[in-house]
Amino acid sequence: MDVAALREQFPILSRTVGEYPLVYLDSANTSQKPTAVIDAIAAHYRDHNANVARAMHMLGAEATEAFEGARAKVATFIGASRPEEIIFTKNASEALNLAANSLGAALRPGDEVVISVMEHHSNIVPWQLACERSGATLRWFDVTADGRLDLEKAASERLINERTRIVSLTWVSNVLGTRNPVADIARQAHAVGARMVVDASQAVPHQATDVAAIGADIVAFTAHKMCGPTGIGVLWGDYDLLASLPPFLGGGEMIEIVEMERSTYAAPPHLFEAGTPPIAQAIGLGAAIDFLSGIGMDKIEAHEHAITEYALAKLTAIDGFTLLGPAEAVERGSAISFNIDGVHPHDVMQILDSRGVAIRGGHHCARPLHKRLGHQSSTRASAYLYTTPGEIDALADALVFTRDYFAPKFG
């Protein structure tokens, strides 16, 4: 993969921050956008802007064709059996809330929902609310010292058992980078009659995805982490399951017939897409999928694996550097969270920003995980398809500078 040529397609990567070239290492937060995506969104607003489905004129037909074409692209990209299994939401958080409200509508007292302590808040809070509404019990996988799911402890505690109704796990941790064995856990869930939900927000942008192969019933991810626009997420679900679920939101387009006494509802995907959908955003997502597919997800995954190996070796060699998560690039994504001895992550983030290096500091919407690992917060650097070894070098140099500035004992 010609990363130098690839980077030329991302206008923002040529920016400078003061005297420094921009080193963007916050792609787990949001990725940058190639010209193809920016142009696709602009072209829609400039030449084809209209509402979908409702407008029976030429512009409406063009907008609808592009919108539904994007749905078909998403279905192909993740191996869905039909486009109608693709639900457009405003982000992955809304997709997970949809799952917790619709799939969770059948929960009763005595039922159990299983998540993990490494989840993003978006895959914790909706299930807490679902359990509060239903009287079900929330349980969770613990993690080992090196940031893997503690499968032995889960087995000994019979975490997944005959009372389990839903298991909802992240495929790749946004903090630790850990890639979880979701296919194996899905088999365990199905063996006891439970449904499997997968938060794939940190997986789909970085690796080839086949939803059938992982055995999930519902998968959620978001466009803005995969070179697409903000404002649109995706929920994939087995069609028969989706057709059996109650709606999440009410409004236009999700209905069949509305009477004052009662309403009947449309079939999926429209059952879950009330109101005007994110039309331009879906078109931008379709362009992002074309862009990623043109490169090849196998090449993107290989590049990120090499960058992650290089970064782990480079960063863990720094005195005072404490890594959160697996120290080897095995079953691991490219997000690397860490702390520098004696320096608050927000200070690290601010000093690095002054040197052109964009990273994230905080608990990354995963406070329970940080608490479990004994850290108040952490600093996170996250690479993507456009990241170069030179940018990792710039990160390492900036971290040494920051460490020595705040903790002279290392200098």
What pLDDT tens digit does each residue of the chain (411 aa) get?
899 999 999 999 999 999 999 999 999 999 999 999 999 999 999 999 999 987 789 999 999 999 999 999 999 999 999 999 999 999 999 999 999 999 999 999 999 999 999 999 999 999 999 999 999 999 999 999 999 999 999 999 999 999 999 999 999 999 999 999 999 999 999 999 999 999 999 999 999 999 999 999 999 999 999 999 999 999 999 999 999 999 999 999 999 999 999 999 999 999 999 999 999 999 999 999 999 999 999 999 999 999 999 999 999 999 999 999 999 999 999 999 999 999 999 999 999 999 999 999 999 999 999 999 999 999 999 999 999 999 999 999 999 999 999 976 665
Nearest to 231 by CA among 92, 132, 114: 92
Peptide bond preceding 408: is omega within 30 degrees of 0, i.e. cis?
no
Q: Which of 365, 367, 377, 401 is catalytic?
A: 365
Query: Does 240 share its domain with 373?
Result: no
Listing DSSP states for 308-344 in one string gives HHHHHHHHHTSTTEEEES-SSSSSB-SEEEEEETTB-
Query: Does 86 share its domain with 216?
Result: yes
Query: Does 166 share its domain with 223?
Result: yes
Contact 114, 159 (CB under 8 A): yes
pTM above 0.85, yes or no: yes
Query: Does 176 share its domain with 91?
Result: yes
Boundary of a domain, candidates 259, 293, 327:
293
The number of residues making up the chain comes to 411
Helices (H) and strands (E) in the chain, counts: 14, 17
Query: Does 186 share its domain with 305?
Result: no
Which residues form the domain of 369? Answer: 3-30+296-410
Query: Does 175 share its domain with 207?
Result: yes
Cα dihedral 25→27→29→31 (10° resolution)? 130
Query: Does 342 share its domain with 226?
Result: no
Query: Does 51 share its domain with 137?
Result: yes
C-alpha distances (whole Å) from 102 to each of 99, 200, 223, 246, 370 are 5, 19, 22, 6, 30
Q: Are strands 233-237 and 86-89 parallel, antiparallel or unpaired?
A: antiparallel
Query: Does 266 share its domain with 328?
Result: no
The total number of structural domains that make up the chain: 2
Query: Does 69 share its domain with 207?
Result: yes
- Judging by beta carbons within 10 Å of its beta carbon (0-12, 13-18, 19+), is residue 275 exposed, middle or buried? exposed
Boundary of a domain, candidates 293, 313, 348:
293
Is residue 131 among the annotated active site residues?
A: no
Kindly state the helix (H) or strand (E) to which residue 268 belongs, with its residue range: none
Boundary of a domain, candidates 249, 264, 293:
293
Q: Are strands 378-382 and 335-340 parallel, antiparallel or unpaired?
A: antiparallel
What is the Cα gyration radius of the chain? 22
CATH of the domain at 66: 3.40.640.10
Query: Does 303 share its domain with 288?
Result: no
Kindly state the helix (H) or strand (E) to which residue 170 belongs, with its residue range: strand 164-170
Give CA–CA dist 108/127, Å, rounded. Answer: 13
CATH of the domain at 16: 3.90.1150.10
Query: Does 350 share its domain with 216?
Result: no
